[in-house]
Amino acid sequence: MNYAYIDIDLSTEELSEIFRPYSFEERLEKLYDYFDIEDILVTSSFGTKSVFLLHLLSKVNPDQKIHFIDTTYHFPETITYKNQLIKQLGLNVVDVFPQINENALTREENWWIAHPKMCCTINKIGPLEPIVAKHKVWIAGLMSFQTAFRSHLDIFTQQGDIIKFHPFIDIDEGEFLYHLSYHNLPKHPLEALGFGSIGCTHCTEKGEGRSGRWASTGKTECGLHPNYFLRNKT
């Protein structure tokens, strides 16, 4: 599938205003008018909300690479769900792994207890940094109703050297749930057991929404979205 894209220089504010009138699926389609597929980064945790973006991308551009950060701490059910969606949706998934020795150290010393931020840095942020550097825009399936941080995001935001694209940021929860039901999209197997959001085994508990992530720590994000890529250009 070939896409011709518009080679123009627009601010994130201008891009947001251009994309605002469109539906979430139209926004994804339109992104390929502005950016080449090789410049677009997609990551997925294959969690409870991931199938929404993955389903739409499989329709809009099935050639798009989906990067999965395998921290080595995922639930077995997450890996099973990932393989199910790859087969069902025909996804082009690329596995990304942390550095072996550093990952082993986090395991030996249980860093998710004493150093949860550093554990995320080693197993999630670090492995993705060189990949982020090769792209211009990063599609993120964040929705404003999920957390206070996400409620303040716009359709496009600048994060250091990369633009973050949030095509679903202004969708309401009812519309999101309707889409899943209408298309009969498979749910993560742990969702039926009370897990509203799913990450690594040691830092995920049962709970509504994202309340089960890093419970009682004050931490709500792994760092991929709010902080770690806020580098200034030199």
Catalytic residues: 222
Q: What are phi and psi of 232, to 5 degrees?
A: -80, 145
Single-letter amino acid, residue 30 = K
